[in-house]
Structure formats: structure tokens, C-alpha cells
Structure 1
Amino acid sequence: MPSAYYQPLEPQASDDNDERWAIEDDDEQSCGQGGRSSQYQHQHTRCYPQLLATGDQLPSMGMAPRLRSAWSCRRSYSIMLLLIVICVCFVGYFFVSPQSSGQGNDGGAEDANGIYEPHNGKGKRRHIKLILGMEKIPQDHPFKATISKRNHGRIHGTNGHALDEPLHICSESPEDRRVYIQDKPRSAYAQLPVIYFVTPTYPRREQIPELKRLAYTLLHVPRLYWLVANDQERCDTFLDTLLSGFGIPYAHMASPMPSEFRKSKPAPRGVANRRAALQWLHQQNITNGVLYFGDDDNTYDLRLFSEIRQTQRVSMFPVGLIAEYAVSVPVVRDGKVVAFLDSWVAGRRWPVDMAGFAVSLAYMSQYPNVNMPYKPGYEEDLFLRSIGLRIDQIEPKGANCTEILVWHTQTKNKKSAVVRLESEFLDGRSNLGALFRSLKLMGVASASDSEGPVATISKNGKSKSHSFFLS
């Protein structure tokens, strides 16, 4: 039996054991090699758990090398098998993903779930640790939300996963009912590529007037298909009627933001809408034409549509009224994009506004895993990464990015107004009943018997009671 007073066994120089001890060199440091004699008993016991479990005696000092050698061989085979499995995982991660096939990033680390950690070189390693359970996932880490979403059957990654969105079409009309467009018959434009104009929108009191303003711009654009995605659980029948009345080919879909993101600050507004439009294009198997993301509060020069229509891969152009610089623009030298001017870089490879680029659907169709993750501020960047864009592929528009053809105009949103106006006076005796019913459908204003400021109705500069005019 070993004793606490025995000294640790020193490796002997012999032909039989040289190779075995060379393999075991690392193990000996943890099993008492070169340590104090009192520590050896503890380490010697820890190195033979299988003997303790069966009640057998521990090996004597003279037998330690042979038994340890056999155990270490089995352990070495296990370690080698584990290393092979890890190597296979690394090969799949780094070489099968779209990033490694010419779609990788040069500005930071990004994993398969759209978690991007710019310029620290640790993003991929941390992602692997999170998957293997080697690092605890913080409660507020976006990876936690990604796992939750996967459990609900949705995929949010930029790489390795295609979109799998639930798609709810409210109404759709592929027919172009415009007879003349810009003083020419509709048939004169039959050979032009179609522009698929994606507009994310959400219920608010400015929604309908802004959509109307945009629609009267799009009425002048031939060969355009309008994809309107509304951030609402149910279909809006008023919006259905509105879109149908313009005569522009359109598809109206309900695309609510997932509930777990609604309380985020900032919330990824518009992502669910654009993802729904991408899913619609995928389901329709549309691989010709041009994709453009156009918000309902922007201002568009009609020349923009003529320029982006011939996009071969990805075209880019300046956007006015963006943040501190009041402009976001590619830097162009000798007709090529070489850099970007934007007041908020934040590690983004593509620091551009959503309205500042257009994508050829023929080019995008080469990337089945096109995606736009729920990451506020990085939607454009991660979308362009998912289609493998390289800077030498960008086509500058707007006279080599010297003209602004789209402006990021914004309306200050306010809550829907509530006016105190008795319901008994909102009948057919005046126009106010029909007007307020329409305003309520549009989300602009509503009348109440008990809430809001009392509606002032006046004549000749003097206000009177509601009953004076309406009863």
C-alpha cells in the first residue's frame, strides 16, 4: 500500500517506458510528479478513481507506471476523439458558412445568429463558448433572444439559415391599372425591369397621410410593385381599400414585430416588415428586377427610380438629412466606391442608410440565406453581409454620389388625438359624424363623450355650445 511518507516516483530512463512517459508528461504534473509527499497520496488517489469505485487497493509504487500508462492511453484516445470532433465543428463553422466562401467580414466578428462584436477578434470564439456551455449567457445578451426565437420556429441569423417567416397576406393585386404614366401609355414601359419597392409601416396618426404622399410619388414610376408591410397583428381593411384605389400593383401584408422585441430600447422597428417582404419575394420565386427599401416618411426624386432600375448587383447613393452630418454617402474615386462618410460607424462594414442602396434580385438569388436580423442600427450592414457584398461590386449612382436623390425626412409622431364631442351630435345631421369615424379608422383622431379637450365650435369668432349648432 502506498504511504504518505513515500516520495513521488521519478521517471526512470528505460527503453520500455520512455515513450509512455513522454505521453504522460503533462498528466504527471497533476498526479503528484515533483510534489510534496503529503500531496502525493491525494493526487495518487485522484488518478485511480476506477479502482476506488470497485473497492480494490491502489497500486503500489512499483506498479504505478504500468497502470498509469494503460489509463493514459485510454484517456489519450478519448482526447484525440474529442479533438477530431471539435476540428470537424471548426471546419463546418469557418468553411461552410457564407462568410468563408467570399462573404466573410473584415471589420469584426459575426456569428451565425447575427450577433456582431466589431473589431475585438473574439466574436467567433465567444459564440462557440456560448454554444458549448463554456460561458454563461447573460440574461440581456441578444443570443438569449435568438435561442428563444428559434424555439418559436423563427430563424434570425445572417449566415447559415434562410428566412422562415410566417407570412400573412391581407390583400394583393398584381394588375397595373394605370393607363398613362408620365405622359406615356403603360405599354411603353413593358421592357423595363420591375422595381419591388418595400415599405415598412406601422399604425400611428401620421401613417395614412404619409402613405398617401408616397403613393402619389410612386404613381409616376412605371413597372413598380409596392410591397407594404404593416406592423400589426391583424389586417387593416382601411389600408386595403387605400392601396387598392391607387391602381399600383401591390401586396399588403401584416407583419407584427415579435413581442420579445417590443420592449427593447431601441426596438428593431421595421425589421419584421422587411423580413416579411423578403419572404414574399422568396415564396414568389422572383429572381428578376430590383429590390429597394423605401420608408413611408422619406422624400424621393423621380430620377432615383430611373437610376436604380439598371442595378447589376448593389447600387448606392447619398441620402440627405441623416444624423449629425445631414448626409450619409459613399466616397467615390475614379468611379469606384472606396469608403463611406457617415456620422455613426459603430464597427459597421457598410455604414449606409436603408434608403441608400438597391439590390438586384438576380444577384440576391445567389444567396439563399439572405437575412436581416433584429439588431437595431445594424440592419443594413448585416443584410448586405448576408448577400456577400464586396466593395468593388458597388455601383455608385447619383452622378458618382454627388446628387441627393432621396431625403430622410421624418414626421414627429404624436399620439392619436381625442376630442370631447358628444356622440348624440355625431349622427347624420352634420358632417362631423362621418368625418370622425373616418379619422378613427385612420388612427388620426377620435371623439369621446368624456375624454380629451372640449371641441370648440365657433361662428363669427364666437364659440357656442355643441347643441347650438348640431341639435
Structure 2
Amino acid sequence: MASIRRTQSPAYHDRPYQNGGTSFSVSSPSQKLLSNGMSPFGEVEDIKSQDFSFEIKPSPVNVKLDPESVVKREDFVLDTVNLGVERQSKTKERFNFIPKKQIIVVTPTYNRALQAFYLNRLGQVLRLVPPPILWMVVEMNVASMETAEILRKTGVMYRHIVCTKNSTNVKDRGVHQRNAALEHIEHHKLDGIVYFADDDNIYSLELFKGLREISRFGTWPVAMLAQSKNKAILEGPVCNGSQVIGWHTNEKSKRLRRFHVDMSGFAFNSTILWDPKKWRRPTSAPIQQLDTVKEGFQETTFIEQLVEDESQMEGTPAGCSRIMNWHLHLEARNLVYPRGWLLQKNLDVVLPIK
């Protein structure tokens, strides 16, 4: 039969113990009271041997319990299960989320009178777009201090890129700048939705919200002001839901194009650039814009490298019935670019304050 030995039990109050070499005796609290006759544990009664029995005795027969105060074991288990499910659901709500796709905005820019205005305006729009968003601003030959200062103040995550390719043709400048950004995305395998956003265009926040819904290639109509500034042009897809079934175009010279899309009227998944197997591309050649094609055909020749036909496109928003960005061509070409965007002299006429 097993026996239980209790260390320092009050039953052996006369047995000496040693602690650090000092002897002392433990006395039962039932036999020794404080000097004022009070016990540290309240009233002291005589402790009998049967009080130390481990036998569980049933409640007296004449004890009546309130049924409402009795907690059933089944109810306790059920409440515990419900509490666990509720706590688990709250944990899932906290950690079970789908991360947002990164938006990679590519903006070619160059020195001109309204450059500061355009970059600041676009930067303030991108600042309102929920992260993650990466703004890739590309300049030719050298990164200007003025552009760098604006980028630092926008509060948007950015990369300031320089295109070093020599180009004597002003029309090809934007092509080489966008290609420099594409090479950067491919080299670093940046994952996100790539969007070419020129700094002089006007964009709505609804447009950037829809970019994250794109799987492979998305497109939408763009409103443009003609170079003559006497008529508006709508260019882009005609959609049935999200299916592209045709194209808007008003210029006869561009009707030979395969896809009638403005440069700011489409966006695509960046993995097409550096993961050809995922999208079953027939070739792994780098995807770039072509500077050898006629003006106005850079968009369609570039898109032909991304998709085979309209079945691989996604029209946005549903029905393609909303204009989300505008290309206005409002800039005058003969304005002088002030160095550092600062005027060295005051105005010639100064009106006195009355």
C-alpha cells in the first residue's frame, strides 16, 4: 500500500528542521495563538484526525438546490466550445487577409516649364492611393535635383531612374524612358501591375483602384483633346461586361492599328516581363516598346507582345462606360524653362498696397 510523506507537515510540530544550518521547530497554528489571543487565520477550532480524510462525502439529503443556479456540465462544455469558436473566428479575421497587389506606376519626365506642376499634381494623386504602390520616374541622361526634391516630398515610395541611351529624336524619348523602366522591372523581378502614367495626364482615384483587379492585361477608354484643341476624341475598348468586343477610334490614319489604345489606357501584370512560362509566351525575348515604328503605333506594337488577342484582355470598369483619365495636350511648347523652377527676377510692375 502506497504511503504519502508530507514535508514539514503540522502533524510533526516537534520535529526540528534545518535551513542554512539554523534549527527551528514548526508548531501547529491550532496550538499557538498570537499574543493578543487572535489567530492569523480567524477562529481556530480543534482539528480532529477524521478532518484529514480524503473521502468525498455526499451532500446531506435535506439540502435543496435552486434548479436555475445549477450549471449543467453539458452547458459548460457547450459554452466553452462556443467561446473557442468565437475566439478562433476573430483570430481568422485578424490574420486571414489577402494582400493587395502592388501598383508600379512608370512616368517619363523631362525639363520644361510646367514639369514641376505636373509632377506635383501626379504625386498628390498617388499619395491618396492605398499602398503598396511604387512610382518609377525616369529622366534622360541625368537625374535632376529638382525632380529628386519633388519625389522626396510626395511621401510616395519611388525609384528615380536615369535612361542613358542616346536619342536625337524627341519623339523617341518617352519610348526609351519606358524601356529603361521595363528593364529595371525585369532585372529586379518586381511583382505588380505596371501602368504607364505620363505626368501631364489627369487621373482619377477610381482608375488606380481598378488596377488591382487586373489579372493579365486590363484596358479602358481614354478621353483626349485633339492636337487642334477643337474636338474631343474617345479612344479605347468597347466592352460587353469585362469582355472586349471592339474599339473606339476617330482618326483615319490610325485605323490600321491592331489595338486602338492610348498609352495611358492599359495596364498589365509585371510577371509577363520576367516569367514567360507562367503566361505561356512563345518566346522569352525581352518585351520593349519599339522606336522604329511610326508615331501612334508604339502602343499597339507593344501590346501585341503582351497578349495574342482580345480574349486575353479585361475591360474595366464593367461595360467600359466610365472615363477615368484624360489626355488633354494643354501645354504650350514655347514656354521658357526656369532653371531650378525659380524666377531670378521679380515682376516688372509692382502695385503698391493701399
Q: TM-score, normalised by structure 2?
A: 0.63
Once the 2 structures are TM-superposed, how far is the Cα of residue 455 of structure 1 from its aligned partner?
Answer: 4.2
What is residue 197 of structure 2 aligned with on the other side?
Answer: 294
After superposition, the CA RMSD in angstroms is 2.7
Of the three residues 208, 211, 220, the one matched with 1:317 is 220
Match of 1:372 in 2: 289
Whether the 8 Å CA contact 1:204–1:415 is kept in 2: the answer is no
Query: What is the match of residue 410 of structure 1?
Result: 329
Q: Identity over aligned residues, as a percent?
A: 27
- CA spacing shift, 1:440–1:342, aligned 2, 3 Å: same
- d(CA) in 1 for partners of 2:148 and 2:167? 24
Distance 1:245 1:339 in 2: 42
For the residue of structure 1 that corresponds to 2:208, the secondary structure is helix
3-state secondary structure, aligned to 1:354:
coil
Q: Deviations over 1:206-234 (max 9, x none)?
A: 0011100111000011211000011x322
**Structure 1 counterpart of 2:121:** 213
Which runs of structure 2 are paired with 1:216-365 in the superposition (5 Å)? Answer: 216-222=124-130, 223-230=132-139, 232-255=140-163, 258-262=166-170, 267-286=171-190, 288-323=191-226, 325-333=232-240, 335-344=242-251, 345-364=254-273, 365=275
Q: In the alignment, residue 263 of structure 2 is paired with which amino acid?
A: M
Indicate if the aligned counterparts of 1:205 and 1:415 stay in contact, CA closer than 8 A: no
Question: Which is helix-richer, 1 or 2?
Answer: 1
Q: What stretches of structure 2 of length at least 5 have no aligned partner?
A: 1-94
Structure with the bigger RCO (C-alpha within 8 Å, sep 6+) is 2
Residue number in structure 1 paired with 2:339: 440
Query: In 2, distance between residues paired with 1:458 and 1:260?
Result: 43
For 1:400 and 1:216, locate their aligned partners in 2 and report how far apart those are by CA, in whole Å. Answer: 29
What amino acid is aligned across from residue 104 of structure 2 in structure 1?
Y
Q: Please name the residue that 2:109 is paired with.
A: 201
Question: How far is 1:315 from its partner?
Answer: 0.7
Q: 1:190 to 1:457 in 2, by over 3 A?
A: farther
What is the deviation of 1:461? 8.6
Q: Which residue of 1 aligns with 2:66?
A: none
Note if contact 2:104-2:133 (Cα within 8 Å) is conserved in structure 1.
Answer: yes
Q: Does 1:191 align with 2:99?
A: yes
Partner AA of 1:459 in structure 2: L
Summarize deviations over 1:73-121 as a string: whole Å, max 9, x none: xxxxxxxxxxxxxxxxxxxxxxxxxxxxxxxxxxxxxxxxxxxxxxxxx
Report SS of the residue matched to 2:304: helix
Q: TM-score of the superposition, structure 1-length normalised? A: 0.48
**Aligned residue identity for 1:305:** F
Q: What amino acid does structure 1 have at the position aligned with 2:309? A: R
Aligned mates of 1:400, 1:458 — CA distance in 2:
55
Matches of 1:415 and 1:278, distance apart in 2: 31
Q: 1:339: how far off?
A: 1.4
The size of the alignment, in residue pairs, is 243
CA drift of 1:385 comes to 1.1
The answer to whether the Cα contact below 8 Å between 1:294 and 1:355 also exists between their aligned partners in 2 is yes
Aligned partners of 1:229 and 1:394: how far apart in 2?
27
Provide Cα deviations, 1:331-374, integer angstroms capped at 9, x if missing partner: 12364212111123241101110111110123443254211011
CA distance in 1, matches of 2:142, 2:239: 45
- Residues 342 and 351, structure 1, Cα contact 8 Å, conserved in 2: yes
List per-residue Cα deviations over 1:281-339 (Å, max 9, x = no partner): 011112x2101001111111111111111211111111112535521121123642121
> Residue 158 of structure 1 corresponds to which residue in structure 2?
none
Which protein has the larger Cα radius of gyration, Structure 1 or Structure 2?
2
- Contact 1:261 1:268 survives alignment (8 Å): yes
In structure 1, distance between residues paired with 2:136 and 2:268? 15
